[in-house]
Chains A and B, each alone.
Chain A
Amino acid sequence: MTATKKLTIARAMAESLAQEMRVDPNVFVMGEDIAQLGGVFGNTRGLLDEFGSDRIRDTPISETAFIGAGVGAAMDGMRPVVELMFVDFFGVCFDAIYNMMAKNIYFSGGNSNVPMVIMASTGGGYSDGGQHSQCLYGTFAHLPGMKVVAPSNAYDAKGLMTAAIRDNSPVIYLFHKGLQGMGWLGTEPAAINQVPEDNYVLEIGKAKTVAEGNDITIVSIGIGVHHALKAAQELKQHDISAEVIDLRSLVPLDREHIIASVKKTGRLLVVDEDYHSFGVSGEIIASVVEHDHLMLKTPPQRITFPDIPIPFSRPMEQWALPSTEKIVDACLMMKEK
């Protein structure tokens, strides 16, 4: 059995990067504060010492330029991993992302690859305000041409990062700040799990059932998975057996996996920290319903962030966020029907 050790998601990301960079000289990393500082969220710790400043590059605050540069380098045979410090910053560089990175394979008729990874932090819950707390899963998942992944734990984090780096298509790698293991944003101990020391790939586009159950299917990604797992534990006391699916990827979306589960349970609850309307939760529900609405014993529900800018003040933000209690309440309500 391969050796494993416990890692935080931050360390798992850095380990994947290091292991890939050791075997592939075309992989390089750039972004703000990723070199000497090791990344504001710890995901490039140790890389500058090992690989030097040619391959681990601090950039100016010039997202349009360096993400655009990532596209150009990727099309020229390199494998850049580019950090967008907060996903909320996509506004200043989105053309490079959705119009070029995501479309150039298509525009080239498949003759060019864009083997680029953008890693960006997501998530709120610690009062960082409306411009530093978003998830934006729907925004990135909606636009064609880029894969989107979001690990909930260190094991997935390393495997997905390696898969993303090796993928010849562009991948948006979203890591939730509350799961990084940085301490100063709170820690979710369940995100810190055993990670093989050797490198490995987790297939992008494959969801995982992380808790088996028969009464209700709870689908989530990122931190929502942890809320759902805690809810599933609590629901046992109410004799409700909840199945929890960790999507791991949004694009491709593992619809088959979700549908198979709902076929079994007949009830669907989606937990998504992103905004409520026009996003991931609606897509999942639509996918299930258009496949076979007769599978459902009760209308599907979703627990999402309301369609408001994320408020700073703690009582307001906490009220708005998905939580274990909200999931438990929803499941109790759905099970009655």
Chain B
Amino acid sequence: MAEVIIIPMDLWEEDEEGVITAWLVDNNTPVKVDQLVAEVMVEKIQYEINSTCDGVISILSKEDDIVSKGSIIAEVS
């Protein structure tokens, strides 16, 4: 069963868009719950995105992709 990694709705305050500046795991590799998987930058602040469960990650958005709160950026299954 796949879970999604989604940019949390409360991760930053305004409705600004962000950009994925770094994936810290490779596609199709195993990840653990709460493992740091990506960095998202909003204006000049970096936010950390963690995995929501154990499994193998399937990256959906790439580095430099624009994302918003609520964007699904990967799946873990």
Contact = CB atoms under 8 A, between A and B. Distances in A.
Query: Do A and B touch, yes or no (CB under 8 Å, in the complex)?
Result: yes
With most chain B CB atoms within 10 A of its CB, the pick from A7, A183, A194 is A183
A181 B26 contact: no
What secondary structure prevails in chain A residues at the interface with B?
loop
B39 A8 contact: yes
B41 A5 contact: no
A184 interface: yes
A230 interface: no
B46 A187 contact: no
B24 A187 contact: no
A151 interface: no
Nearest to A7: B24
Interface in A160-213: 181-184, 187, 189, 192, 194
A28 to B, nearest CB: 25
B46 A6 contact: no
Given A42-B46, A189-B63, A184 B41 contact: yes
How many chain A residues sit at the interface, stated as a range, is: 10 to 19
B21 A183 contact: yes
Contacts of B44: 183-184
A6 B39 contact: no
Interface string B26-42: 10000000011001010
B26 A187 contact: no
Contacts of B64: 187
Nearest to B20: A183
B66 interface: no
Given A183-B39, A184-B41, A187-B63, A5 B22 contact: no
Which range contains the number of B residues in contact with the other chain? 10 to 19
B60 interface: no
Nearest to A38: B46
B26 A6 contact: yes
B19 to A, nearest CB: 7
Nearest to B46: A183
A181 B25 contact: no
A183 B38 CA distance: 12
B12 interface: no
Contacts of B35: 5
Nearest to A11: B24
Contacts of A187: 21-22, 63-64
Nearest to B38: A6
A42 B26 CA distance: 22
Given A6-B23, A8-B24, A182-B21, 11 more contacts: A5-B25, A5-B36, A6-B25, A7-B24, A42-B46, A183-B19, A183-B39, A187-B22, A189-B22, A189-B63, A192-B23
14 contacts: A6-B22, A6-B24, A6-B25, A8-B24, A181-B21, A181-B22, A181-B39, A182-B21, A184-B41, A187-B21, A187-B22, A187-B64, A189-B22, A194-B26
